[in-house]
Structure 1
């Protein structure tokens, strides 16, 4: 998932994260932000950083300036926002953020409006959907919320049945697992839980029959989700839409409001549709 940082700022952020772990950062600071300064935001390269740069290029941010750092290395962008080393980040969906907040006592990160969906896809270099063999091994994301998402996609593809639905009110996505929630498995699928950045590589693993890969990693691996996926998520009512996250104390900052307005504008929605041809979808 992560890449080489492209700015000196990013190196400083990484140092800031280490200091945070040692208790030296300004976590919990309540100082009033200077709205005349650039908004410091960390984003994944594709498509997040590209969307931020397009909003700037099209003048959708008005007088608001962005200081964009692209994610790389073993860095937690949520921790950097929580500590005050960043103002915002743009890389995650709401279930992931909800799970992160639950695991970090006292954190108060909030999501802005949904921007886009990177459809999770089911891929294979070995079989088609109607030729999946008995006992096939499926590589799925290791993290809890995307693991649930993978199971919903397998259910959508007709390979398993679950005792929960993705749009079920109050559903805790972090608690859904193959062991607890798969009620029907006619192909006797087994699970290989892999960190998301490594899932595309499992397509070449002779032990793996099917791989479920997040949209951004699929694109980076040279896959075209709309044509290469055996099954693909829809954007309609998708709970996994990507969002900008900020501390609760910053959500009414004029710069944050302007950024939210720009990323959800018709111009950016059209840019997503025209640029990614269905591999990334505007949130609906």
Structure 2
């Protein structure tokens, strides 16, 4: 029951997060954000949800209808299935290999992106999907090596252990945190690495032919991944600030929200990177650097059995 409650709360939170991002970008770029329904647009997420979920589903003429419906559902299910791993002591599910499950689900979600881009029979959508898949697969390797660095100190793959046992984060340098932030921005297709939705060349990327329910599911999945990545960052790199039992949960939520809106701030102030430089940055700079850090962490603070 608690898992279902977490997922429902995240659906509501993500809906408000989307509108708040639009309002925040309007403030950063000195233009008016959404301010239509309710006081300062506070009920705008409900109006957007009702509008999208009540629109008629229109299939492109030469699309594959089954995959056209299945693709957004796979993306949505993969995004919200991750919240089964939410580190709550009252949860009936205790997954000892939670972070490995997180890596597996993240890897499987690229199949949903592929179905979305291929099923609509649009060159723009297919090109955007291929870019998203290449970017995700490349940075998943980098993400795994960055993820194992703090896990060497924890000695466990459980998010509950990482959240409540408070591993010695003082050993985590700023370099690992910077690498991890770059990785989650690229993995979630956010600015400055949002080549999937490069408006000047791809016209909204792989979701260009989707509207109504399909677009809503894809948007909810994308922003849910952003919040989940912020939660993982808070657990792995800021748990030493959350040791107090009374304020621990409040501070945990506060840091997660602040990290989520940090991604919005990056989108508003950082220009878009170049795609070939993005791939070169991953394979020639970030991945070798993260492997060196992982070897250093294993030699100093851990053993090779956890990684094996």
The TM-score with structure 2 as length reference comes to 0.22
Normalized per residue, the structure richer in strand is: 1
The structure where helix makes up a greater share of residues is 2
